[in-house]
């Protein structure tokens, strides 16, 4: 029989944070808003200084990145989301380059301290367990390593299964709140994104196990899969796009090599319908990111098909997915984990998909990456590359072959420029080179 919980106010709870502490926040929809607001009030009081805040992407505001908190809070992100992007680019915040699979390792190996973990959980069940709901990722590791764990008990947090379930005795301080989780809204795919989705879907075989990120392109891919059979999900995140395919029986996980029949993820980012779907659903296993993003675990599922996006790709197949030149835009995330894991999977396919041009009409395929741009997926790791103009397989191709293939799926308005750049790079023999 579980013992009753003693609740304190959010302002009382954040008294546990001391100057110089490292604080972890649960991510995406589970960011503990009431604790964040209380911590910022404490920061305004002048009681604390030099507090470092860590998390993956979070939904909603990130008030601790306000320049007025300089010297009080220093945000060091594992991933640069839209709500902290301006702060990171201006230098008020910072970014820790890390594979998503290793965000948990930062805490567990001691490379990064965790003094206080601030999380959200569902109300406890009769056995004294609570669930982390939509955000397991590196949060479970933070809970294990933190000196103090503060949990917001919120009835809107879904009771997710898998490693999301933790005993109450892992928590030191409890706070009550009933603020609904922040939903994520995605735009409908446009003509370009729909074409990309169609090319990606043509590469997905029956029985494939899928990983894909967020946004319009993944939704466009999923919209094309209604005629497929026995698809599975092993991913870092999923959103609403998978729900209709589960309802239709397209996604049943029957061909998976591990976690057969289950949708495996480490965090969610979707609508309330998505959060309701995982509530008390044994079909969904919310797992530690060290499990979901381990390339060798990923590879245990046959036909793993990983679809990830890019900001820029050069003629040799180098993929920049974290920065626009020297300006950080997102992060390494799980792209490398899944590109490598899919390439190790029997019958697997690693796909990088992006529009051929920016909204301003500039080519996203470039002779070379912008100065300062980071290579996330190397030219040695890339396999399939997809734009609205088609899909090309770069694996096993030489530099000159790659240039020809990449240019073939560039926007027609930019192909002449790219051909000229390839000619200047490889010499006159390039022009006589045929695939």
Question: Where in the sequence numbering do the catalytic residues fall?
Answer: 236
Q: Which residues contact 189 (CB under 8 A, 6 or more apart)?
A: 197, 216, 217, 219, 220, 223
State which H helix or E strand residue 312 sits in: strand 312-314
Closest by CA to 253, choosing from 235, 239, 271, is 235
CB 100 within 8 A of CB 93: no
CB 393 within 8 A of CB 344: no
How does DSSP assign 83-120, residue by residue? TTHHHHHHTSSEE----GGGHHHHHHTTSS--SEEEEE
Tokens standing for 85?
A: 């992007």
- C-alpha 27/C-alpha 335 separation (Å) is 18
Give 380's strand partners. none
Compute CA 27 distance to the chain's CA centroid, rounded to the nearest angstrom: 10
Closest by CA to 355, choosing from 390, 392, 306, is 390
């Amino acid at each position: 029989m579980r013992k009753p919980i003693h609740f304190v106010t959010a302002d009382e709870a954040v008294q546990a944070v001391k100057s110089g502490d490292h604080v972890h926040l649960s991510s995406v929809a589970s960011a503990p808003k009431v604790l964040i607001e209380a911590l910022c009030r404490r920061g305004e009081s002048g009681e604390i200084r030099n507090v470092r805040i860590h998390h993956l992407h979070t939904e909603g505001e990130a008030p601790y990145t306000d320049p007025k908190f300089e010297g009080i809070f220093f945000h060091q992100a594992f991933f640069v989301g839209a709500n902290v992007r301006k702060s990171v680019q201006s230098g008020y915040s910072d970014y820790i380059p890390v594979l998503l699979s290793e965000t948990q390792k930062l805490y567990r190996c001691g490379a990064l301290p965790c003094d206080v973990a601030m999380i959200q959980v569902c109300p406890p069940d009769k056995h004294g367990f609570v669930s982390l709901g939509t955000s397991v990722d590196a949060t479970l590791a933070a809970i294990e390593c933190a000196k103090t764990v503060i949990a917001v008990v919120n009835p809107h947090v879904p009771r997710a299964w898998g490693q999301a379930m933790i005993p109450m005795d892992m928590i030191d301080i409890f706070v009550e709140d009933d603020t609904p989780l922040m939903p994520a809204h995605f735009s409908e795919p446009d003509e370009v994104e729909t074409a990309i989705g169609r090319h990606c879907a043509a590469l997905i075989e029956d029985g494939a196990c899928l990983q894909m990120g967020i946004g319009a392109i993944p939704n466009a891919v999923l919209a094309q899969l209604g005629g497929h059979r026995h698809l599975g999900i092993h991913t870092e995140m999923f959103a609403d796009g998978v729900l209709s395919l589960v309802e239709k029986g397209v996604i049943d996980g029957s061909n998976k090599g591990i976690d057969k029949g289950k949708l495996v993820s480490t965090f969610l980012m979707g609508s309330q319908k998505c959060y309701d779907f995982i509530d008390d659903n044994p079909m969904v296993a919310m797992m530690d990111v060290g499990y979901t993003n381990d390339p060798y675990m990923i590879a245990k599922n046959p036909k793993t098909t990983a679809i990830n996006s890019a900001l820029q790709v050069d003629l040799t197949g180098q993929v920049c997915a974290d920065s626009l030149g020297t300006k950080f835009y997102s992060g390494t995330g799980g792209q490398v984990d899944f590109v490598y894991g899919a390439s190790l999977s029997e019958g697997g396919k690693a796909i990088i998909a992006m529009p051929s041009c920016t909204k301003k009409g500039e080519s996203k395929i470039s002779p070379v990456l912008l100065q300062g741009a980071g290579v996330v997926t190397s030219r040695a790791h890339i396999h399939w590359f997809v734009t609205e103009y088609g899909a090309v397989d770069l694996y096993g191709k030489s530099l000159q072959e790659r240039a020809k293939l990449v240019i073939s799926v560039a926007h027609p308005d930019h192909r002449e420029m790219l051909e000229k750049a390839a000619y200047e790079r490889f010499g006159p023999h390039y022009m006589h080179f045929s695939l």
